[in-house]
């Protein structure tokens, strides 16, 4: 589904990502861990096509198509979803209206008609119930005054509505209380299928008790320096990152 080959990317003439290789197949969950500033969010942004970053070497394909030249909207329409570590506020646009617009934009890009209002409402109700989201929440302005947990829940709601092929969740666990963490993880697990894939970026092994990854990768200095199974996450929780550094020298 997603293939990243020898990817160098950064900004201002400096590469933050320095030779990333990663393949994510349909049906898989990959976790990405690594110290602060190692390039995790940058990798997510580059895959999603954020324009401030420049790819200087290597390539990214999604479903066997080179997506390097596509803008973020086009990538989203192809089924790539990125949740932000720091989501933006959009005053005056409700959670519901934002998602309606996003869905119909996707329909438009596929030359499909708008989703009928009744169908949209039904879907909103279903997904909100699944994620235990209060109806009142849906009419609030997007991210305005949202608590950390509400922002994260809203992201998962967007993801549930958009049904992406590849979801990249950047620190979805930060700021969630234990109950919210379970709801969010549960949502991700329910949305999981053999046809889609998830990349979770996290600092803590805790999330991976609920969203069980097939692979865990460690990024340091813009490179994947170690990959393993979920056992690797336990090892990191226990030992930190220094032992990997030592292994590398
Ligand atoms: N837009 C930007 N402008 C300047 N520097 C940037 C920008 N984006 C990333 N960087 C730098 O690139 C490096 C990697 O940042 P990135 O956000 O990818 O780290 P991260 O692994 O997600 O860290 P964290 O765990 O703290 O979220 C950092 O040194 C950061 O300051
Ligand atoms: Mg980050």
Domain map of the chain by residue range?
Answer: 2-248
* Contact indicator for 241, 218 with CB cutoff of 8 Å: yes
- Residues 84 and 193: their CA atoms lie apart, in Å, by 22
Q: Which two tokens stand for residue 11?
A: 């900004």
Tell me which of 37, 45, 47, 217 to substitute to probe ligand 1's pocket, judged by most ligand atoms within 8 Å of the beta carbon: 37
**Ligand 1: which atom is nearest the Cα of residue 52?**
1
- Residues 47 and 120: their CA atoms lie apart, in Å, by 28
Task: Quick: pLDDT tens for 31-78.
Answer: 999 999 999 999 999 999 999 999 999 999 999 999 988 999 899 999
Tell me the fold of 2-248. Answer: Rossmann fold (3.40.50)
pLDDT of the residue at 219: 97
Task: Quick: pLDDT tens for 104-128.
Answer: 988 998 999 999 999 999 999 999 9
Q: What angle do CA 62, 164, 155 make, to 5 degrees?
A: 125
**Ligand 1: which atom is nearest the Cα of residue 222?**
14
pTM for the full predicted model: 0.91
What's phi and psi for 98, nearest 5 deg?
-60, -45
């Amino acid at each position: 589904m997603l293939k990243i080959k020898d990817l160098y990317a950064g900004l201002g003439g400096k590469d933050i990502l320095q030779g990333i290789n990663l393949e994510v197949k349909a049906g898989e969950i990959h976790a990405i861990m690594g110290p602060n500033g190692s390039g995790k969010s940058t990798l997510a942004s580059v895959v999603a096509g954020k324009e401030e970053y420049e790819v200087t070497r290597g390539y990214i394909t999604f479903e066997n198509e080179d997506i390097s030249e596509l803008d973020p909207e086009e990538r989203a329409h192809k089924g790539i979803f990125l949740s932000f570590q720091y989501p933006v506020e959009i005053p005056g646009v409700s959670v519901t209206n934002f998602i309606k617009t996003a869905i119909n934009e996707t329909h438009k890009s596929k030359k499909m008609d708008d989703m009928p209002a009744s169908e949209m409402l039904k879907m909103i109700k279903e997904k909100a119930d699944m994620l235990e989201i209060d109806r009142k929440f849906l009419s609030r302005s997007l991210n305005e005054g949202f608590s950390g947990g509400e922002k994260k829940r809203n992201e998962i709601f967007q993801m549930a509505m958009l049904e992406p092929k590849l979801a990249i969740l950047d620190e979805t666990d930060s700021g969630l209380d234990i109950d919210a963490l379970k709801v969010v993880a549960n949502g991700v697990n329910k949305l999981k299928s053999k046809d889609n894939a998830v990349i979770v970026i996290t600092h803590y092994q805790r999330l991976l008790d609920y969203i069980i990854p097939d692979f865990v990768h460690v990024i340091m200095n813009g490179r994947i320096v170690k990959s393993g199974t979920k056992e690797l996450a336990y090892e990191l929780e226990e030992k930190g990152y220094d032992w990997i550094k030592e292994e590398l020298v």
